[in-house]
């Protein structure tokens, strides 16, 4: 009986510690993502990219936008240089962790100049800091308007689909 109680106490303390670590890491991740979005809104190029891993990936809303970090920097630089990049504000965010608590993934709804968008991605813990390793930005489409959007997209994307199929 004493062993059972001891085991229960150890499991309870371990689960409480895991929960506290998760809560602390969730706060850090929220701060990282909010600061990253704010750095773009303020056109702070170096600050913005400091939140990404050295091999980070940014996937944009256009089917051709699969940016490795250096290419994404080159694409983004003119926007930042003009003093106006993009302004995304999180409306809702969910964060999840792997068992090691060194990898997290998330999804968020964003208020943007394109109206509501969805961001999702993966963060890696580097030391005590969380860095964005992979980010995907998607425009949301109301289900009732899907057919209209597909009609607009098909004119542009049919050629791209054929190109990808032939590769």
Which domain CATH number covers 81? 3.10.450.50
Question: How far apart, in whole angstroms, are the C-alpha atoms of residue 30 and residue 104?
Answer: 11
Beta partners for 131?
Answer: 124
Q: Evaluate whether residue 57 is within a structural domain.
A: yes
Question: How far apart, in whole angstroms, are the C-alpha atoms of residue 123 and residue 32?
Answer: 10
In a structure prediction context, what are the per-residue pLDDT tens digits for the chain, which is 167 residues long?
666 554 444 444 454 444 557 899 999 999 999 999 999 999 999 999 999 999 999 999 999 999 999 999 999 999 999 998 999 999 999 999 999 999 999 999 999 999 999 999 999 999 999 999 999 999 999 999 999 999 999 989 999 999 999 99
Q: How far is CA 42 from CA 37, 48, 55, 102, in A?
A: 9, 9, 24, 29
Q: Evaluate whether residue 27 is within a structural domain.
A: yes
Q: Evaluate whether residue 9 is within a structural domain.
A: no
Q: Evaluate whether residue 79 is within a structural domain.
A: yes
Q: Evaluate whether residue 8 is within a structural domain.
A: no
Q: Which residue has the tokens 């990898």?
A: 103
Q: Evaluate whether residue 3 is within a structural domain.
A: no
- Chain center to CA of 68: 14
Q: Evaluate whether residue 36 is within a structural domain.
A: yes
Which residue, 1, 107, 121, 110, is CA-closest to 51?
121
Q: What is the pLDDT of residues 72-110, one digit of tens each?
A: 999 999 999 999 899 999 999 999 999 999 999 999 999
Expressed as residue numbers, the domain containing 127 is 14-166
Total number of domains in the chain? 1
Which residue, 95, 115, 105, is CA-closest to 135?
105
Q: Evaluate whether residue 114 is within a structural domain.
A: yes
């Amino acid at each position: 009986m004493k062993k059972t109680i001891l085991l229960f106490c150890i499991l309870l303390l371990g689960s409480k510690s895991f929960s506290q670590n998760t809560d602390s890491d969730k706060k850090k991740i929220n701060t990282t993502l909010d600061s990253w979005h704010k750095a773009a809104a303020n056109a702070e190029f170096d600050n913005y990219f400091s939140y990404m891993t050295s091999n980070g990936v940014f996937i944009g809303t256009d089917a051709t936008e699969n940016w490795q970090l250096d290419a994404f920097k080159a694409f983004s630089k003119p926007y930042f240089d003009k003093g106006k990049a993009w302004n995304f504000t999180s409306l809702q965010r969910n964060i999840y962790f792997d068992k090691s608590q060194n990898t997290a993934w998330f999804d968020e709804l964003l208020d943007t100049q394109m109206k509501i968008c969805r961001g999702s991605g993966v963060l890696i813990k580097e030391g005590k800091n969380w860095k964005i390793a992979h980010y995907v930005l998607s425009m949301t489409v109301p289900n009732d308007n899907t057919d209209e959007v597909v009609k607009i997209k098909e004119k542009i994307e049919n050629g791209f689909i054929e190109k990808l199929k032939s590769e």
